[in-house]
Amino acid sequence: MGIFSRMTDIINANLNAMLDKAEDPEKMVRLIIQEMEDTLVEVRSTSVRTLARKKELQRHITHQHGETAEWQRKAELALSKDREDLARAALAAKTRAAEAATDYDKELKHVEEEIVKLDDDTGKLKAKLTDAKQRQKAIVLRAASADSRLKVKRQINDGRMENAMLKFEQYESKIDGIEAQLESYELGQTRTLKEQFADLERTEKLDAELEQLKARVGKAAPAAGDKK
């Protein structure tokens, strides 16, 4: 397949349709990008050769125009010297130079048209390549995201995960029971401490009353002796 027909196929290709049909879109877009980049390399080489041919044709045209003018001058010179035979030969050479210039000019126009088409197609191909690279980034990100989500879904729906969660719940229930036992012991200790403090407060109150009683009795005994 020639470079121009292949480039046209790429430019006219519908990337969306190609990716929709592909079993591996990421691989497909990578191949598309590689094909585009390879085509661009060939396009640049073709462009260099075409531009070189254009310059060559321009040189030939300039040369033939110069030859045409030169043979015209020689024909005039021959006539001025009464050399009609030489003038005829010069005019024939002039005609050949002019025809050669015309042929080169026709080829130059064709080359220039090819350059315009090549430049236009190259611009479109570069746009396609940019689009493909952007899609490649999006596809890679989507593929990575989808792969991660698939792994999560598989783990969520995995029977081992359900068994593990069930065991977690059993462990949590067991720990709840142990914590409840600890709290019950702490509640018992809390009541004992209250009772101890209550006993201590009652003892302190009794001691205070006893001291008050002793003080009253001690004062009352000397007063009774004075009356005797």
User: Is residue 32 within 8 Å of 61, Cβ to Cβ?
Assistant: no
pLDDT the model gives residue 7: 56
105 Cβ contact partners less than 8 Å away, ≥ 6 residues apart: 57, 61
Which of 106, 125, 157 is the C-terminal boundary of a domain? Answer: 157
Is residue 105 domain-resident? yes
Q: pLDDT class for 228, splitting at 50, 70, 90? A: very low
Q: Are residues 203 and 115 in the same domain?
A: no
Which of 135, 157, 179 is the C-terminal boundary of a domain? Answer: 157
pLDDT in tens, 97-121: 999 999 999 999 999 999 998 898 8
pLDDT the model gives residue 10: 59
How many domains are contained in the chain?
Answer: 2
Whether residue 42 is predicted with pLDDT greater than 60 in this model: the reply is: yes
Q: Are residues 108 and 37 in the same domain?
A: yes
* Spatial separation of the C-alpha atoms in residues 131 and 11, rounded to whole Å: 11
User: Mean pLDDT across the chain, nearest whole number?
Assistant: 81
Q: Are residues 136 and 189 in the same domain?
A: no
Which of 142, 157, 172 is the C-terminal boundary of a domain? Answer: 157
pLDDT the model gives residue 99: 97
Whether residue 88 is predicted with pLDDT greater than 70 in this model: the reply is: yes
Q: Are residues 11 and 68 in the same domain?
A: yes
pLDDT in tens, 22-33: 667 677 778 888
pLDDT in tens, 121-176: 888 888 888 888 888 888 778 777 877 887 877 777 766 766 777 777 777 788 87
Domain span at residue 146 reads: 3-157
